[in-house]
Amino acid sequence: MKTSEQWLRDWVALDASTDTVADTLTMAGLEVDALLDGGPDLDGVVVGVIQHCRPHPQADRLKLCRVDIGNATPLDIVCGAPNAREGLHVPVACVGATLPNGTRIKATEIRGEASSGMLCSASELDLSVDASGLLELADSAQPGTPLADYLGLPDRVFDIDLTPNRGDCLSMRGIARELAVAFDKPMTGPETDVVAAKGNERRAVTIEAPTRCAGYAARQVSDLDPEGVTPVWMAERLRRAGVRRINLPVDIGNYVMLELGQPMHAFDADKLVGGIRVRMAEEGEQIVTLDGENVTLSDETLVIADDDGPVAIAGMIGGLRTAVNDSTRHVVFESACFTPAAVAGQGRRYKIHTDSLHRFERGVDPALHPVALERATALLVSESGGTPGPVVHSEGNAVWPEQRKIRLSFAHVARLLGQDIDRRWIEHALEALGIGLQDNDETSLVAVPPSWRYDLQIEADLIEEIARVYGYDRLKTAAQGVSLPPVAAAAGLTVAQNADSVLRQRGYSEAITYSFVEPGLHAALTGGEEAVVLDNPISDQLVEMRRTLWASLLPSWAHNVRRQQSTVRLYERGLRFMPDDAAENGVGQRDTLAGLISGQAEPTHWDRVARPVDFFDIKADAEALFSGTSGRLTFVAARHAALHPGRSAEIYLDDTPVGWVGQLSPVFSKRYKNSELPYLFELDSSALAVEAAVRFEPLSEQPTVRRDLAVVVAEKTPVASLVGAIESVNEAAIRSIEVFDLFRGEGLETGFKSVALGLIFQDKASTLTDEGVDTIITRVVAALAEQCDARIRGE
């Protein structure tokens, strides 16, 4: 929001310097990003009046003008502007002046006629892009007045960056209100008296979508003066706010929007057919917008229509068919209150962003549109005459169906801000912000937020307002004490809290991505499972809530690979979402940890051969995350829509599935061409919690015994099944099981393999004997034969 300092001081009489005003706005939450110059240096440019104007005898397109600039002797100036005429008040660049574009004005001779100066257009003065003719000044402009003084220059412009919740400050009125509160000064605004109707021309207004339009007011002003143009003072305020001048009715609508915060629109009354209807568009209905774009409308879009179809997309942009131009003589002004929900997402849907939409998305004061209509009518009549008709007003559902009330406890204010603030000061500050007060007592009060403050909903919002007005820099700082009750040793310890550290130590970098994903990739990763679709996506690509974090990690990986970063290790902790009728709002969510690796397994080094990452690298990373958890971790070969057949496994903790690990499926090769597909894992974060306290166990002083077994099993038998069979013997003396060899080939039947297992035995209290170990081995062999159909190799 660009705000003229001079215009702002017209609302609030301030003695403070420009820098102080800027600092005050920033501390009030309206961050001033920059202080800009309000206009160019116009030294040597004054107001002049063309006294005589005749054709140049040697050039058809030039005119000889005698110009009064307040001196005893008028100036003779040659001018080629088409609108040069007697009686016109114009800017005159005197001899010796330097224009903003660097042109230095000299006395010269043009086609045999002397010229002592230059009559200027707005473009030549860097006040506009309009170079079609001379800048026409008001007849009240006194000859000889420096143009900078006449235009109110120099001026400074505050470039204010507003947070989305402060839509009420997208106007001079809103910003002035904040300054008035901060400096404890009165605020004055423009007169908004009711303009009496002098004609009978009216347009019927019907609201067919009352939940989306709280109110709609329209008024026709007929018989406008064809000579009426936007006054310079208004054009200058628009320019300093960054708004382009178009024509008088449109400029007045933009001016009222900047002044009061109410977006408006002007229709050419001669082009409107019948009455005005505020309705939902029909699917496939079309409108050509003011910028010439042919837009096909959705049935979720609110439009303004006449008997021939849509004439505007509500709260966003008007249609070209009813656009006001320089030949318009009868205007219909509209002023409405569309709810934020009615326009939310429509700009992204149609790739249109306007100042009007920017305000309606954030919430426009529902009580403002009748006031703004009167203000616009008064300005139009004063600048272009015309006959105003009666105001036609229709109401939909109220934005605030009942009076909003928030109870504010003074004790809560002190607790949240860390200090006591005088209650009388609190009441004064809240009332200055337009907040009504009821039911005051010694401990609390009831606050009624004003209609323009959509963001005030709960007590904490009011306390934030108190802190903001009081001044964050005035709040005292103090060390706070916290009482920590004793807890049992290791209670609440979770591996999930350490997962970040584990993965970082293994070379991973954390990724933080959107929870919104692209539907095509998402469907391929989930096998087409139903997803949660966003009603208001931030882009055309990010329209679904992710069911898997892989849908977020893979684009990040691809982004790095395209930039020659082939070795990538990423992880992310976040939520994934799925439709769930039993959940609140029909959306279930699960805390998840996911990772991805690609490229080399180890950094390049001269003494070893580089190798790419494989399944066992990602499997080891996943296993490391479960270090210290109770329960038996197993990896079971299984198919997953996103993973490579034969290189994927489902992860179980005891008998509960907790995640997946594997390589990305070859079906993604076309999507990620010329890239080695990465390996991934995804785990439920809840599975990483330690269920029991960690306790110290002393090391045994007894020697260990190792026995090796080579067993022959069918090729399809997983080695994990062999380990599980041995563990099922439930022998405390077996301390660990190692798989140290795998053999296929000569001496074995087709379809079989030999697996060599090393068993480490140790007793806590006594030395093991050969007989005792042999007894255990016998039980182990029996379990392998029974559960895995395994036999000892060589038997």
3-state secondary structure 48-83: EEEEEEEEECCEEEEEEEEEECCCCCCEEEEECCCC
Pairing relationship of beta strands 705-714 and 633-637 according to DSSP bridges: unpaired
Q: What is the pLDDT of residue 692?
A: 54
| Separation of alpha carbons 212 and 279, rounded Å | 9
Q: What is the pLDDT of residue 720?
A: 86
Residue 140 and residue 243 in one domain: no
Rounded to an integer, the average pLDDT of 296-307 is: 95
Q: What angle do CA 173, 176, 182 make, to 5 degrees?
A: 145
Parent domain of 171 = 2-38+155-183
Query: Is 479 within the bounds of a domain?
Result: no
Residue 297 and residue 364 in one domain: yes
- Region at 223 (left for phi over 0; alpha for psi -120 to 50; beta for the rest): left
Last residue of a domain, one of 395, 426, 441: 395
- Indicate if the alpha-carbon torsion angle 666, 671, 677, 678 is positive or negative: negative
Residue 386 and residue 457 in one domain: no
Closest CA to 342 of 323, 330, 356: 356
509-520 pLDDT, tens per residue? 999 999 999 999
Query: Is 188 within the bounds of a domain?
Result: no
User: Residue 652 maps to which CATH number?
Assistant: 3.30.930.10
| Separation of alpha carbons 581 and 603, rounded Å | 48
Confidence of residue 494 (pLDDT cuts 50, 70, 90): very low
End-to-end, the C-alpha distance of the chain in Å comes to 87
Instruction: Decide if pLDDT at 757 tops 90.
Output: yes
Percent of the chain with pLDDT over 90: 75
Confidence of residue 488 (pLDDT cuts 50, 70, 90): low
Q: What is the pLDDT of residue 693?
A: 56
Residue 161 and residue 147 in one domain: no
Query: Is 381 within the bounds of a domain?
Result: yes
Q: What is the pLDDT of residue 690?
A: 59
- Greater confidence (460 vs 193) lies with 460
Instruction: Decide if pLDDT at 34 tops 60.
Output: yes
User: What Å distances lie between residue 478 and 418, 481, 689, CA to CA?
Assistant: 8, 10, 36
Beta bridge mates, 93: 45, 118
Residue 415 and residue 501 in one domain: no
Beta bridge mates, 600: 612
Last residue of a domain, one of 365, 395, 425: 395
Q: H/E/C letters for each residue in 684-741? A: EHHHHECCCCCCCCCCCCCCCEEEEEEEEEECCCCHHHHHHHHHCCCCCCEEEEEEEE
Query: Is 667 within the bounds of a domain?
Result: yes
- Greater confidence (208 vs 493) lies with 208
Q: Rounded mean pLDDT of the chain?
A: 91
- Region at 459 (left for phi over 0; alpha for psi -120 to 50; beta for the rest): alpha
Residue 670 and residue 557 in one domain: yes
Instruction: Decide if pLDDT at 366 tops 50.
Output: yes
Residue 717 and residue 670 in one domain: no
What is the count of structural domains for the chain? 6
Residue 653 and residue 787 in one domain: no
Residue 457 and residue 571 in one domain: no
Helix (H) or strand (E) holding 757: strand 752-761
User: Residue 28 maps to which CATH number?
Assistant: 3.30.56.10
User: Residue 304 maps to which CATH number?
Assistant: 3.50.40.10
Residue 532 and residue 385 in one domain: no
Query: Is 190 within the bounds of a domain?
Result: no
236-269 pLDDT, tens per residue? 999 999 998 899 999 999 999 999 999 999 999 9
Q: What is the pLDDT of residue 132?
A: 87
461-473 pLDDT, tens per residue? 999 999 999 998 8
Instruction: Decide if pLDDT at 489 tops 70.
Output: no
Query: Is 194 within the bounds of a domain?
Result: no
Residue 117 and residue 225 in one domain: no
554-604 pLDDT, tens per residue? 999 999 999 989 899 999 999 999 998 888 778 899 999 999 999 999 888
Q: What is the pLDDT of residue 394?
A: 95
Percent of the chain with pLDDT over 70: 97
Instruction: Decide if pLDDT at 145 tops 70.
Output: yes
Least confident of 107-111, 169-173, 225-229, 645-649: 225-229
211-225 pLDDT, tens per residue? 999 999 999 999 999
Rounded to an integer, the average pLDDT of 464-490 is: 80
DSSP structural state of residue 442: S
Residue written as token pair 């077994």: 709
Query: Is 480 within the bounds of a domain?
Result: no
Confidence of residue 498 (pLDDT cuts 50, 70, 90): confident
Q: What is the pLDDT of residue 491?
A: 47
Instruction: Decide if pLDDT at 698 tops 60.
Output: yes
Query: Is 427 within the bounds of a domain?
Result: yes
Residue 339 and residue 211 in one domain: yes
Closest CA to 45 of 132, 156, 126: 126
